[in-house]
Amino acid sequence: MIIILKPDIRRDSPGIQQVLDLAERFPGVTARVHVVEGSSRSLMEIYLIGSTADVPLEPFQDLDVVERVVRISEKYRILGRHKGQIESEGFQYQGITFDQETLHVAPGLCAVDNREHVDQMFAACQELGIQTSRMGAYKPRTSPYDFQGLGKPCLPYVFESAGKHDIKVIAMEITHESHIDEINTALDEAGSPTGVMVQIGTRNAQNFELLKFVGRQQRFPVLFKRGMGITLEESLNACEYVASEGNGRIILCLRGMKTNLGDPHRNFVDFAHVPTVKRLTRMPVCIDPSHSVGSRAVGSDGLTDIHHATAQGVVAGANLVLVDFHPAPLKALCDGPQALTLDELRPYLEDIAIVREAYEKRRKRAQKPAGDARSAGA
């Protein structure tokens, strides 16, 4: 059961204690207070977990601080979009709002290879006003003989360079709990010049112990990449593992599905699921066109398949674009064939802006009453 409190009720309001006291009267029920930071307002929700089947709604509904009470039967208890829940499960991190309304682009290196490339990448972002990026330090590779990422030693210069170029958030994959400790220490030692969004890669999508671990820590939000060979429902349940441990700051990233039916793309592009995830849950949705398409092949119209896949995700309402760039893709130690070059960043962002405008127009038009749309010649 979810008890949604009236807008802008503060965490220390006595009304919250009243709800908790009332919940305590029901045996086998535990209450957990949850703050949802929306872009326009913050919402407080109290989850009643356990044997709630016989708990009546009315006594909670009658309390002054309560806006409404929702009984949930659906699977995604925390992240799901339950009946009556309109606000998306957004959050603020490093002064940036991530929710189902906003759009950010995070271009960066698939894998850190040297300091110079990191600097060049961040400088290119800064020049174009981009404050979100990606940098892989720990790489889960199919073959043990492939480059495994530079790991801990590269963190100090990655964070220092990010601070120098005003990068606020870096998406960085971890494959083991100890990587969080390493990131924590390196960030502290550098004086926290930037922030990290911890990425759970597709290969760890059902590593439940790792999911619970990132759910228990509160410092970093989580970018969860859809499992490449599991259903959407299984991936959403995996996100629920993170949220149920206490960290609801999660973005789900679509990155294509593994099947040879997607050939010649690396993975079968699944961006038609952007609106589906936004309907089923309140999480912001990210798309990763680079790992979906897997090459920078150019089409007959002069646009790469990566541009087209990006456009498909953005026109469907994606909230974050995670995309591989590299100053010298031929020298990249991981996924060079899918990296765009730095001089392609500006036109790529311009292309996204065109498509985002189209999405905003489509959304406005859909929200108008049907008569208005007809009179507008639709």
Which residues would be at the binding site for ligand PEP (CB under 6 A)? 110, 136, 173, 201-203, 225, 255, 288, 291
Instruction: Indicate the residue among 202 and 281 with the shorter CB distance to ligand PEP.
Output: 202
* Binding partner of 23, given ligand PEP, Mn ion, none, CB within 5-8 angstroms per partner class: none
**Mask for 236-275, x = binds Mn ion (CB under 5 A):** ----------------------------------------
* Binding partner of 201, given Mn ion, ligand PEP, none, CB within 5-8 angstroms per partner class: ligand PEP
The token pair at 82 is: 């339950």
The residue among 147, 75, 71 whose CA lies nearest residue 114 is 147
User: At closest approach, how far in Å is the CB of 91 from Mn ion?
Assistant: 25
User: At closest approach, how far in Å is the CB of 256 from Mn ion?
Assistant: 12
**Whole-angstrom distance, CA of residue 351 vs CA of residue 187:** 34
User: At closest approach, how far in Å is the CB of 331 from Mn ion?
Assistant: 15
Instruction: Indicate the residue among 138 and 213 with the shorter CB distance to ligand PEP.
Output: 138
Strands 29-37 and 42-50: antiparallel
Instruction: Indicate the residue among 91 and 348 with the shorter CB distance to Mn ion.
Output: 348
- Tell me which amino acid residue 2 is: I
Under the binding rule (CB under 5 A), the answer on residue 335 touching Mn ion is: yes
- Touching Mn ion, residues 72-131 (CB under 5 A): 110
Instruction: Indicate the residue among 130 and 323 with the shorter CB distance to ligand PEP.
Output: 323
Using an 8 Å Cβ cutoff, are 70 and 83 in contact? yes
The token pair at 348 is: 């790529």
Sheet of strand 66-70, all strands in order from the earlier edge strand to the far edge? 29-37, 42-50, 2-5, 66-70
Q: Which residues contact 267 (CB under 8 A, 6 or more apart)?
A: 228, 255, 256, 257, 258, 259, 291, 292, 293, 294
The residue among 349, 369, 361 whose CA lies nearest residue 127 is 349
**Whole-angstrom distance, CA of residue 291 vs CA of residue 269:** 9
User: At closest approach, how far in Å is the CB of 179 from Mn ion?
Assistant: 16
Instruction: Indicate the residue among 142 and 300 with the shorter CB distance to ligand PEP.
Output: 142
The token pair at 176 is: 């083991």
Instruction: Indicate the residue among 22 and 110 with the shorter CB distance to Mn ion.
Output: 110
**Whole-angstrom distance, CA of residue 167 vs CA of residue 177:** 25
Positions that interact with Mn ion (CB under 5 A): 110, 335
